[in-house]
Amino acid sequence: MRKSSVILYILLISVLLSAFAPAAFAEEKALGTAGMDFTAPDDNYRVFYEIFTGSFSDSDGDGIGDLRGVMQRMDYLNDGDPASGLSLGIEGIWLTPIFASPSYHKYDVTDFYAVDEQFGTLEDLQALIELCHERGVKLILDLPINHTATNCEWFVKFKNAHLTGNDRHAYYDFYSFVRPAEGEKAPAGYREIGSTGDFYECNFDASMPELNYDNDAVREELLNVAKFYLDLGVDGFRFDAAKYIYFGDNRQSADFWVWYLDALRAIKPDVYTVAEVWDSDGVTDTYYSATNCFDFTTSQTNGLIAATAQHGNVNAYTAYVQDYLDRVHAIRADAMIVPFIANHDTDRAAGYLTVASGNMKVAANLYLLSSGSPFIYYGEELGMRGSRGAANTDANRRLAMLWGDGDTVRDPVGTTYDPAKQVQDTAYDQMQSAGSLYSYYKKLLLIRASHPAIARGDYTALSLSDTKLGGFVSAWQGERVLVLHNTTLSSAKLDLNALGLGDFTTLSAYIGMEEADLSDGILYLGGQTSAVLVP
Ligand SMILES: [Ca+2]
Ligand SMILES: [Ca+2]
């Protein structure tokens, strides 16, 4: 193609796109909400949205995301009317830490009772809580209580007590420390306090000294922190580094969380909590005695969701979910699975799954049309990319939300990610396009919200002989739903009667790269497409 004809071609496409954009938007507005029922109960089986607070939306022009920024994006997240079809439709928000802290990520806290001034004030937090609740959205805060910053006044007092040898000081035991015997070395993960021979525990970094949870004053203080925010109206917490409370002893750490959760539930019986226990299922099971945990096994590039989304075995995935639910329900009757594909500590999923291949959409189908309380990482719904890369920096996983409408939020310090590799369609663009990943996520959440039984109730994995097609039946309060996924590139045909599923006579919804059709008990399910059936 000659250069001039290429330009002409691009011009023609642009004209066509702009001509069709308003029509497509109108069609998108109509997005099949007619006839959908949104009477989902007010419980904790919610779709959450993780906001890396400093990278989301900037309300005051300093380039840093803040609480007022989240408020100004509430229409994007949830406009309070599921039937409008005009907002993403998330049902909960996880804010990464908002407390006073010297770092951009704020996982090293100076003062747990203050909002960092870069993010706003306690009054801003109260206003955000109010707005969330008006929209039926729950707000949970990130509690990194295993450690603090070194400039936290507790640590300053602790350090001084050791430097002066004052072992009667109230803060002498506030942090975890050891004094190795003469000639012995301190264990890994400890740092000497001056040249006192005392070493404080810091498994992540010297800048993150770990609190001593054998000290009742520490327990009481960090319980007060949670109570303080529950009083303010937050709905719950995400517990950072939950297995590090007593590092190396999961039973003891889990017992701490049982004690902590007993106290929180006494105040707020429906408090929403989820713990970060980045470990195998055998280990997370231990923590389920206290709280739900993120399901790290199915997340990330090597996880079961990504593997299944790339034309993998759906039966293995649904069998995994059923086994998970069976195990955690045996530990605690109201336990949930909390799936996700990426968060602020992992590479973004669109980078390895890709939107163009359709695999990103299949992954979303698998974990959002499923049991429990899934977490979407901000920008995931746009197909945003970001990975540690050669510079090995987490900042690349926390890039500024691509609003495309003049939001002044900037990438965090230390970012090295090549903007040319980023998805080019912003939120502004994608909201106008029925074919965008944003519109896809929106539709997916509508389907989920209109069928409460997908997230709740008894989950029974199907074991189909066609290993690239699979699904589950879920029953909740008299409602039954059948969810089927086809992860292959070609359409599949399923005789529901032959499988004993003939009572599912209505194809309620389908979503994916192709279409679905049900007639006379025969379901045709297009490639990379999922279907929801009801009796
Ligand atoms: Ca700001
Ligand atoms: Ca610890």
What is the full DSSP assignment across 10-73? HHHHHHHHHHHHHHHHHHHHHTT-TT------SSS---EEEE-GGGT--SSSSSS--HHHHHHT
- Tell me how far apart the alpha carbons of residues 77 and 74 are, in angstroms, rounded to a whole number: 5
Kindly tell me the number of DSSP H helices and DSSP E strands found in the chain.
15, 20
Residue entry with tokens 């977490």: 375
State in Å, rounded, how far the first CA of the chain is from the last one. Answer: 54
- Bridge partners of residue 443, in order along the sequence: none
Q: Kindly tell me the sign of the dihedral angle through the C-alpha atoms of 202, 205, 209, 213.
A: negative
Give the pairing of strands 199-201 and 190-192. antiparallel
477 CA to centre of ligand 1 in angstroms: 45
Neighbours of 389 (CB within 10 A): 16
Give the number of whichever ligand sits closest to the CA of residue 118.
1
pLDDT at 32: 52
356 CA to centre of ligand 1 in angstroms: 34
67 CA to centre of ligand 1 in angstroms: 8
Give the number of whichever ligand sits closest to the CA of residue 212.
2
Q: Kindly tell me the sign of the dihedral angle through the C-alpha atoms of 267, 93, 329, 331.
A: negative
Judge whether 126 and 74 are in contact, CB under 8 Å: no
Give the number of whichever ligand sits closest to the CA of residue 146.
2
Give the number of whichever ligand sits closest to the CA of residue 209.
2
Give the number of whichever ligand sits closest to the CA of residue 210.
2
pLDDT at 41: 82
Q: Which domains does the chain have, with CATH numbers?
A: 48-149+211-310+336-454 (3.20.20.80), 153-201 (no CATH), 457-534 (2.60.40.1180)
201 CA to centre of ligand 2 in angstroms: 7
Judge whether 103 and 152 are in contact, CB under 8 Å: no
What is residue 382's DSSP assignment? Answer: G
What tokens does 16 get?
């066509």
For 132, the enclosing helix (H) or strand (E) is helix 122-134
- Tell me how far apart the alpha carbons of residues 403 and 380 are, in angstroms, rounded to a whole number: 13
- Tell me how far apart the alpha carbons of residues 359 and 349 are, in angstroms, rounded to a whole number: 10
168 CA to centre of ligand 2 in angstroms: 22
What tokens does 295 get?
């399901």
Per residue of the chain (535 residues), give pLDDT as tens.
Answer: 344 443 334 333 333 333 333 333 333 333 456 667 777 689 999 999 999 999 999 999 999 999 999 999 999 999 999 888 899 999 999 999 999 999 999 999 999 999 999 999 999 999 999 999 999 999 999 999 999 999 999 999 999 999 999 999 999 999 999 999 999 999 999 999 999 999 999 999 999 999 999 999 999 999 999 999 999 999 999 999 999 999 999 999 999 999 999 999 999 999 999 999 999 999 999 999 999 999 999 999 999 999 999 999 999 999 999 999 999 999 999 999 999 999 999 999 999 999 999 999 999 999 999 999 999 999 999 999 999 988 999 999 999 999 999 999 999 999 999 999 999 899 999 999 999 999 999 999 999 999 999 999 999 999 998 777 999 999 999 999 999 999 999 999 999 999 999 999 999 999 999 999 999 999 999 999 999 999 9
pLDDT at 23: 34
pTM value is 0.93
260 CA to centre of ligand 2 in angstroms: 15
Give the number of whichever ligand sits closest to the CA of residue 244.
2
99 CA to centre of ligand 1 in angstroms: 15
247 CA to centre of ligand 2 in angstroms: 5
pLDDT at 264: 98
pLDDT at 82: 83
Strand 516-519's sheet: what is its strand order? 492-495, 522-525, 516-519
412 CA to centre of ligand 2 in angstroms: 27
Contacts of 303 (CB under 8 A, 6+ apart): 296, 297, 341
124 CA to centre of ligand 1 in angstroms: 12
Judge whether 316 and 308 are in contact, CB under 8 Å: yes
126 CA to centre of ligand 1 in angstroms: 17
- Tell me how far apart the alpha carbons of residues 395 and 413 are, in angstroms, rounded to a whole number: 7
Length of the chain: 535
- Bridge partners of residue 191, in order along the sequence: 200
Q: Where are the beta strands (DSSP E) in 287-437?
A: 292-293, 375-377
Give the number of whichever ligand sits closest to the CA of residue 54.
1
Judge whether 486 and 527 are in contact, CB under 8 Å: yes
Contacts of 475 (CB under 8 A, 6+ apart): 453, 457, 458, 460, 481
Give the number of whichever ligand sits closest to the CA of residue 55.
1
Contacts of 273 (CB under 8 A, 6+ apart): 140, 236, 237, 238, 239, 261, 264, 291, 292
